[in-house]
Structures are given as structure tokens and as C-alpha cells.
Structure 1
């Protein structure tokens, strides 16, 4: 499905209008545009929305090395998935300010307590790769989302954006392509079938027109 940003914003506005606390999940493979979409919606909604990224639950590099998973960083078992589910449950109740972690790409590490979610914010937008995976502990996430949108852009465009991202953070062109077509692509292949659990599948996003 192709939708304009204004149409997507109208859908987000409808979630805000429900009253109480609602959670919108935006899902997709690496460099699909999910983070851009999440922040564009949040910026447009102002103090009525905030973004909590799944990537804040990356395990620290020291722990990945201890587990022997550092070379597979980004795979489902390189996240604290139980912690993410627990955080979403706290967010869902909306009774208190919840502090979520944030992933900082410039240091490749999560930072605890970096994202405040006050109880008076009606819409929390959470974005990440594995929100619709139907295996424990990830399977619990879907039931906590009021809506889930899956971003599925053209694969060539997505991979090129991913290569550009890797180069931006210091990898050579060869290293960037190896990562994008190696472990990143294995994760993308895992994510693709989970689109069937989404309320909305977005195949074309005019990312250049989004305001972030």
C-alpha cells in the first residue's frame, strides 16, 4: 500500500483521539525508513507523542563479546527482549514517567534512562525490527501494540541506504556492503514474513518529504 505522510498522520491522530495511552509499533528491516517515519509523526504531533526505539535494548558490546555474539550484533538474541517487553507493559499503563534507553550509533552502545515517557503523553511510537516476530519473548510485543505498521520499501533502495549508513559510521565501502548483504540481510529475511501480523504494510514511503 502507498500512503502519503498526511494520510499516515491522520491515522496517528486517530490513535491520539482514542484517549488514554496508545502504542503504535512501526516495524521493518534495517534502513527501511521506520525510524524516519516514527520521528516524522512524533514531530508533527508535538507533545502528544514520543518515540521509544527497540534498539535501546541492544546488549552492551562487552556482554555480546562474553556471549560470543558480537559478530551477529542486530540478531534477535543480541537484544534484551524481555526488558523491552517489560518496558512496553509499564508504558501501556501510563501511570508514571518511564525512562527508556536509547541506542547511540556513534558509540554503538545503549544509554540507559535517556528517553522520558511522561504519563500525560497519549501516543507512544515504538520502532524496531522484531516487534512482530512470533517467537518468545518477542511474541508478547504484538499484544501490547494498538496498531502495527510494517515498512517494506524497494529492496535495492533499502540496501543502498544501509550501505550509506554503515559508511557514515566509519566502515569502508567493502565493509559496509559485506555487513549489509551479510548479517543485516539475514536479519531482514527473518523480519520479512512478520509483515503478515501488521495492520498496515507500507511499500512506498516518500522519505525525502518527511520532516525529521
Structure 2
């Protein structure tokens, strides 16, 4: 069973950064730290803060690797008739994500990767890069700890994995706010998508937390 801590986001940041620095000191290899959790758990924000803090300590040492850049393209989902389930595990290029991580762990060259833009609801190619000097990859995404293929290939590539546990009702409220802020769809559509896709994904990911090295129950009023 993983270690479990109840922490505020700021304390979680401190714990993860401290562990990353300790791991980096004990190896010459590039390491990957995974931040997993359901949609709306705050993992993207925390992962970005981990990278910023590591780079403030040691400039250029950390790079952010978001799983969301491996969404299937919207046109592909339309052709498959799966737009309504966008965000579910089968709507990602999971095998490509595993291959990308494998390449990143070993690469000594600059590697570019894709990002997902909520502004256009689609993938943007070559939207970020990982420089050769990066020592710590901070990988974040919903499905890092799943046991189903191809996702099962992610966990062996992570040197340390953290699951962020946030209450389901908190997640629902955050997702409603997130979708509303983008302004792309009606409130009715957003509520339907959250109930049909986001919360079932949350439930699926929740069951994978025992595969993490550390589970952090996030103490937050937001």
C-alpha cells in the first residue's frame, strides 16, 4: 500500500519538490515523477508549480510533460463517433504517449511534444520542448497508473508516482467552473459531459491510486 499524507497544495508542493531533489542527487539518469489524479484534481496546476520551483532551485533542470497532449484529434473522434466521450481512456493515443515517455527518458537531444488546448478543444503539435539538460520530467495526467494496456506501460517509466485525492463533489464543482470559463458550450452541455464522462473517469482513476508510491489527500477549500 502507498504512503498517504493529508496536505494542503502548498505542503504537497514542498514534499514533491524535496523528494525530486533527493532523487536527482542520487542518480545521473533522467528521472520521471508522475502526478496522477482524476479530472479536476489540480494535478496540472501542481505539476507546473513543481517544475517552476525545481527550476528556481536549479535553472533548466525540470520539464513538464502533460498527458493531455495525446488526446486523439477532434476530427478523429468525430469520425469514430466518440466526441461525447472525449477525455475517456480510449479517446487518447495511449500507446504514442508511452512511446514518447520512453523516448524522453533516454534522449540526449531536444524533444518537442504536443499540448492540448482547451481554447480550441484540440491538440497543438510541437507546443513544448524538453531540452537535453533537463534532469527531472514532471509527468501529469489522469491515466498514469491504470493497469489496462496501453496505459499499463506508463507506470514502469515513472521513478516516483503521486496520486492526488480530491473529493468527488469538489471535483464536480471545479469542472463546472472550468467548462463555464472556457465559454465554448452551454451549461446544460457542460453538466451532461461532466456526469457522462468526467465523473466516470474520476471513478476509474480513483481505483488506480493504490499503484502510486504516495497518495496525497488534498486539503483545500477550493
Shared fold per TM-score greater than 0.5: yes
1:40 counterpart = 2:49: yes
Aligned counterparts of 2:76 and 2:38: Cα–Cα separation in 1: 24
Q: What's 1:8 paired with?
A: 16
| 196 and 50 in structure 1: CA distance in 2 versus 1, 3 angstrom threshold | same
Once the two structures are TM-superposed, the CA of residue 205 in structure 1 deviates from its matched residue by: 4.7
| 205 and 197 in structure 1: CA distance in 2 versus 1, 3 angstrom threshold | same
TM-score normalized by structure 1?
A: 0.93
| 126 and 173 in structure 1: CA distance in 2 versus 1, 3 angstrom threshold | same
Aligned counterparts of 2:24 and 2:116: Cα–Cα separation in 1: 26
Most deviating of 177-186 and 193-202: 177-186
SS in 2 for 1:196: helix
Once the two structures are TM-superposed, the CA of residue 188 in structure 1 deviates from its matched residue by: 1.0
Choose the corresponding residue for 2:145, options 122, 128, 132.
132
State how many pairs are aligned. 208
Q: Deviations over 1:39-64 (max 9, x none)?
A: 01001111211111000000111100
Q: Which structure 1 residue ranges, 5 or more long, are not aligned?
A: none
Aligned counterparts of 2:68 and 2:124: Cα–Cα separation in 1: 10
Choose the corresponding residue for 2:171, options 132, 138, 158.
158
- Give the 5 Å matches for 1:58-207: 58-170=71-183, 171-206=185-220
SS in 2 for 1:164: helix
Aligned counterparts of 2:179 and 2:20: Cα–Cα separation in 1: 31
Q: Deviations over 1:70-119 (max 9, x none)?
A: 11100111111111011001111132211111111100111111111112
